[in-house]
Amino acid sequence: MRSPFRAGLAAVVLLTACQGGLPGATPVACPTAAPTAADSAGILAGATAVVVETSLGDFTITLNPVAAPVAAANFVALARCGFYDGITFHRVLTGFVIQAGDPNTRENQGDFEGLGSGTPGYGFDTEVPPEGVNYDSYTVAMANAAAPGTNGSQFFVCLVDLDGLFPERNYSIFGTVTEGQEVVDAIGQVEVNHPNIGVPVDPVVIDRMEVLTAESTPS
């Protein structure tokens, strides 16, 4: 069953066993549990951004580890191990959000029972955004099932300013799209099966993610 987000968005968790990484690279094991607050600093050490390479182009998420250190660290850990490789943007709601992160979409890229409910076997609680950190256009936040401990790997990007729609601030904000906003906009305009369901007719696939550090540049 889909867990409605507001305005028809299913904002559910997701996570599963990760595989992947770049060809020829030493495999990095995916996490089997969410990072603790104490773990987060080590995972995030030096990490500044994540480049999301998709079938429609690339965009860059600049991390905000101060606002949500556990969510940011979890995202970085999953990106490094190749968890997101091959996963699709399974929910596109024009003028609202684009959402990705369900590992089940590697094998099934259409609308199916249980879409948006895939899990790697762990979750974590929401880190409430601090004052001044809002759900503005291009904000990146965790999706969840509106219950404690249901953050996982699903995330969404706001297509417009949505701050007024989330007065309870139940979605951890861990970054902002700072490059490639036009790619996010293009994803937000793809044809979908139904405007309230939002499964792209032609799948938008995450090919890979690259974690950038203060010393690195996109490859």
pLDDT tens per residue, range 102-142 = 999 999 999 998 887 876 679 999 999 999 999 999 999 99
Nearest by Cα to 122 from 35, 32, 19: 32
Q: Write down the pLDDT at residue 27.
A: 72
Give the span between the Cα atoms of 128 and 116, in whole angstroms. 22
Distance of CA 208 to the CA centre of its chain: 13
Question: E strands along the chain, which residues?
Answer: 47-54, 57-63, 89-93, 97-100, 139-142, 155-158, 173-179, 206-213
DSSP state for residue 130 in the 8-state scheme: P
- Cβ neighbors of 38 (< 8 A, separation 6 or more) are none
Q: What percent of the chain has a predicted confidence (pLDDT) above 70?
A: 86
The answer on pLDDT for 98 being more than 60 is yes
Computed over every residue of the chain, the mean pLDDT equals 87
Domain ranges within the chain, ordered by starting residue: 37-213
pTM for the structure as a whole: 0.87
Q: What percent of the chain has a predicted confidence (pLDDT) above 90?
A: 78
Going by pLDDT thresholds of 50, 70 and 90, the confidence category of residue 217 is low
Bridge-based pairing of strands 155-158 and 206-213 is unpaired
List the beta bridge partners of residue 205.
Answer: 88
The answer on pLDDT for 17 being more than 80 is no
Q: Write down the pLDDT at residue 218.
A: 52
Q: For the domain with range 37-213, which CATH number is right: 3.40.50.300, 3.30.1280.10, 2.40.100.10, 3.30.70.1230?
A: 2.40.100.10
Tokens of 9: 């968005």
